[in-house]
C-alpha cells in the first residue's frame, strides 16, 4: 500500500475530517471462495466510485494532463462542443456546451447563482455525488429560466438557509460534480451561449455572506453556524493515491485501494452497512485499508478472479437485459432511492455513459444493434427513419450521436459531424412523404444526401439518441425510437 501513497497523504486524512470505519486488518480469516465473492460484489458496487475518482482527478487535479479543466470549487465554462479529442469520459455529449464544477464541500458549502435565461433556451444543472447518483437538478425543467441562487452543502453542514438563497441542496458526500448544460441553437449561437455562461457564478458561502477574513477563520470555527473564510484545501487525491487507467481498473487490485479511499468521502449510508461489513473483511473501507501486498498469493488470486467475475456478470447483464430491451437508460440513472441497491444498474450506467441524466431530464434510447439484432460496423450502411410527425417527443431538443467501440468516444470524420440533432432540422432534407431519414455509414452517401449523413467509423460502433426534457410519450413507451436498418 505504501508504494502507492505519499507519506504526506497518509497524514492528510487525519486532519481532513473524513469519515472512517472501525480498524480492521486486511483479509484475515477469509477463505479464497469468500474473498472471490466479496471482490466480485465490491467491484460491481465500487466501479462507479473509482471511475468518478479517475475523471475528477483528470479534470481538477492533474494540471499537466490533457483533460485538465480547472481546480476544485471553480466553475469552468467550456464554450465549445466536445470532439474526438475529448477522451476522459465515455459517450460525451456534443449537443450542449458544458460548464463544470468539481465541488469540495469539506470546509464549507458553495453558493451557485444562475442568471435569468431566455425561455426558448434549455439549460440544466445536474448534481452528482461521489457515488454517481443524480441527487438534484436545477434548470428549465425543474426551476425555470427566471434565475436563482442555490446553496450546495455536504453531509456535515448544519447551518440555516442564508438570506438570498432560494434553495439548500444537500449531498451525502463531500465531493460532488455539477454539470451545467446550455443549449446551443446553431453554429452562429456560440456567442450567446458564452453570454449565458458568463452569468453562472460559484462562490464559497463565507464569500457570499461577506464573512471573516482568513486571519479570523480559527475564531469563526468556534462559533455555531458561523462559517470560516475561504481557505485553500488540497483534494486528498493530490496527496494520497493516483488513479489508474480504465484498462488497469479491470485487473489491477489497486482498484480496491482507490475504492477504499473514496469510501472516506462521506459517512456510510445505513442501507450499505451490511455490504460495507462484507467489504471490511478484505480491509476495504477500514482504517487499515485494503492492502494488496499483505494478501497471501491464494487470496490475491481470488480477488483478481472476483474482478473477472464482475465483468462476466456485467457482460451477461448487457446481453440478457439491455440488448433485449428489458432494461433501458431510464432504469439506470437517478437517485439513490431509485437505484435502490441495484449496484449492477449503477455499474452499467457508468460504463455505458457516466454522468448520464435521470430520465425525466434526458432519455437515451440506445441503438446498439441493427434491426436484425446484429452489431453495427462501418463496412455496412444503415438508415434511421423518423416517419412524418414521429420525431422524438421533447420539450427541449433531441439528437442522435455516433460513438465508436469499444471506447464509446466521438468519431473523427471529414465533415467534423458527430451527431444530427433537432436544431439542424432546417438544413436536413425530408422525403416526399414527410419522413426524415439519417444515413449512417463510413463513406459519404453522395452529395445529394450528405446533409443527412451521420459519419460512422471503419470499425464497430453504436449510437445514442438523447431526448432532453422528454414528453410523457417517450417515458411511458407510447413513442418508440426507430431502429437502424441495414441497407445493401
pLDDT digits (tens, 9 = 90+) for 48-68: 999 999 999 999 999 999 999
Residues 6+ apart with CB under 8 A from 114: 123, 125, 138, 143, 147, 148, 149, 150, 199, 200
Average of per-residue pLDDT across 231-252: 71
In this prediction, residue 27 carries a pLDDT of 65
Q: How many residues does the chain have?
A: 488
CA gap 208, 109 in Å, rounded: 10
pLDDT digits (tens, 9 = 90+) for 374-411: 999 999 999 999 999 999 999 999 999 999 999 899 99
In this prediction, residue 223 carries a pLDDT of 36
pLDDT over 80 (residue 21):
no
In this prediction, residue 186 carries a pLDDT of 81
Backbone angles phi, psi at 402, to 5 degrees: -90, 135
pLDDT digits (tens, 9 = 90+) for 32-42: 999 999 999 99
In this prediction, residue 228 carries a pLDDT of 30
Residue of 104, 61, 57, 96 lying closest to 79 (CA atoms): 96
Cα dihedral sign for 387, 392, 394, 400? Answer: negative
pLDDT digits (tens, 9 = 90+) for 315-356: 999 999 998 889 988 999 999 999 999 999 999 999 988 999
Position 212 confidence tier, pLDDT thresholds 50, 70, 90:
low
pLDDT digits (tens, 9 = 90+) for 448-468: 999 999 999 999 999 999 999
In this prediction, residue 396 carries a pLDDT of 95
**Summary count for the chain: helices (H), strands (E):** 13, 19
CA gap 418, 415 in Å, rounded: 9
pLDDT over 80 (residue 266):
yes
Average of per-residue pLDDT across 275-283: 96
pLDDT over 90 (residue 243):
yes
In this prediction, residue 462 carries a pLDDT of 96
In this prediction, residue 74 carries a pLDDT of 97
pLDDT over 70 (residue 229):
no
Half-sphere exposure of 339 (CA within 13 A, CB side): 25
CA gap 115, 96 in Å, rounded: 17
Average of per-residue pLDDT across 118-125: 96
pLDDT over 50 (residue 218):
no
In this prediction, residue 240 carries a pLDDT of 56
In this prediction, residue 82 carries a pLDDT of 86
pLDDT digits (tens, 9 = 90+) for 171-199: 999 999 999 999 998 878 999 999 999 99
Out of 93-97, 285-289, 352-356, 384-388, the most confident range is 384-388
Give CA separation, 253 vs 115, 224, 293, in Å: 46, 43, 10
Average of per-residue pLDDT across 425-437: 96
In this prediction, residue 226 carries a pLDDT of 30
Position 26 confidence tier, pLDDT thresholds 50, 70, 90:
low
Residue of 337, 377, 355 lying closest to 486 (CA atoms): 377
pTM (two decimals): 0.84
For all residues of the chain together, what is the average pLDDT? 88
Position 284 confidence tier, pLDDT thresholds 50, 70, 90:
very high
Amino acid at each position: 500500500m505504501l508504494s502507492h501513497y505519499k507519506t504526506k497523504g497518509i497524514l492528510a486524512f487525519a486532519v481532513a475530517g473524513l469519515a472512517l470505519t472501525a480498524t480492521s486488518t486486511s483479509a484475515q480469516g477469509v477463505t479464497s471462495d469468500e474473498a472471490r465473492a466479496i471482490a466480485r460484489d465490491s467491484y460491481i458496487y465500487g466501479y462507479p466510485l473509482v471511475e468518478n475518482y479517475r475523471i475528477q482527478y483528470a479534470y481538477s487535479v492533474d494540471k499537466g494532463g490533457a483533460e485538465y479543466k480547472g481546480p476544485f470549487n471553480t466553475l469552468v465554462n467550456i464554450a465549445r462542443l466536445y470532439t474526438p479529442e475529448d477522451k476522459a469520459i465515455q459517450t460525451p455529449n456534443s449537443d450542449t456546451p458544458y460548464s463544470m464544477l468539481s465541488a469540495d464541500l469539506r470546509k464549507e458549502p458553495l453558493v451557485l447563482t444562475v442568471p435569468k435565461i431566455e425561455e426558448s433556451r434549455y439549460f440544466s444543472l445536474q448534481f452528482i455525488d461521489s457515488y454517481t447518483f443524480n441527487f438534484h437538478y436545477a434548470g428549465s425543467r425543474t426551476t425555470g429560466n427566471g434565475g436563482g441562487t442555490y446553496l450546495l452543502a455536504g453531509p456535515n453542514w448544519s447551518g440555516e438557509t442564508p438570506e438570498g438563497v432560494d434553495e439548500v441542496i444537500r449531498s451525502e458526500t463531500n465531493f460532488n460534480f455539477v454539470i451545467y448544460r446550455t443549449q446551443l441553437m446553431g453554429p452562429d449561437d456560440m456567442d450567446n451561449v458564452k453570454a449565458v455562461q458568463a452569468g453562472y457564478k460559484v462562490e464559497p458561502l463565507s464569500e457570499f455572506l461577506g464573512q471573516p477574513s482568513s486571519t479570523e477563520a480559527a475564531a469563526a470555527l468556534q462559533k455555531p453556524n458561523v462559517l470560516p473564510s475561504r481557505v485553500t484545501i488540497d483534494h486528498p487525491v493530490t496527496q494520497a493515491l493516483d488513479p489508474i487507467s480504465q484498462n488497469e481498473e479491470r485487473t489491477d487490485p489497486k482498484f480496491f485501494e482507490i475504492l477504499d479511499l473514496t469510501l472516506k468521502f462521506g459517512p456510510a449510508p445505513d442501507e450499505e452497512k451490511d455490504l460495507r461489513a462484507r467489504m471490511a473483511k478484505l480491509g476495504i473501507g477500514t482504517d487499515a485499508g485494503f492492502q494488496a501486498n499483505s494478501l497471501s498469493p491464494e487470496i490475491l488470486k481470488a480477488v483478481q478472479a472476483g474482478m473477472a467475475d464482475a465483468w462476466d456478470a456485467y457482460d451477461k447483464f448487457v446481453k440478457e437485459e439491455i440488448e433485449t430491451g428489458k432494461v433501458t437508460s431510464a432504469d439506470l440513472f437517478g437517485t439513490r432511492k431509485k437505484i435502490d441497491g441495484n449496484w449492477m444498474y449503477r455499474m452499467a450506467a457508468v460504463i455505458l455513459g457516466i454522468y448520464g441524466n435521470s430520465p425525466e431530464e434526458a432519455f437515451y434510447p440506445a441503438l446498439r444493434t441493427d434491426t436484425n439484432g446484429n452489431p453495427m460496423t462501418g463496412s455496412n450502411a444503415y438508415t434511421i427513419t423518423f416517419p412524418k410527425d414521429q420525431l422524438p417527443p421533447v420539450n427541449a431538443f433531441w439528437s442522435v450521436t455516433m460513438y465508436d467501440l469499444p471506447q464509446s468516444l466521438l468519431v473523427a470524420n471529414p465533415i467534423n459531424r458527430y451527431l444530427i440533432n433537432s436544431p439542424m432540422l432546417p438544413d436536413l432534407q425530408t422525403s416526399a412523404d414527410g419522413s426524415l431519414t439519417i444515413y449512417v455509414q463510413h463513406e459519404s452517401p453522395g452529395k445529394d444526401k450528405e446533409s443527412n449523413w451521420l459519419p460512422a467509423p471503419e470499425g464497430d460502433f453504436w449510437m445514442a439518441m438523447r431526448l432532453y426534457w422528454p414528453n410523457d410519450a417517450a417515458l411511458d413507451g407510447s413513442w418508440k425510437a426507430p431502429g437502424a436498418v441495414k441497407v445493401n
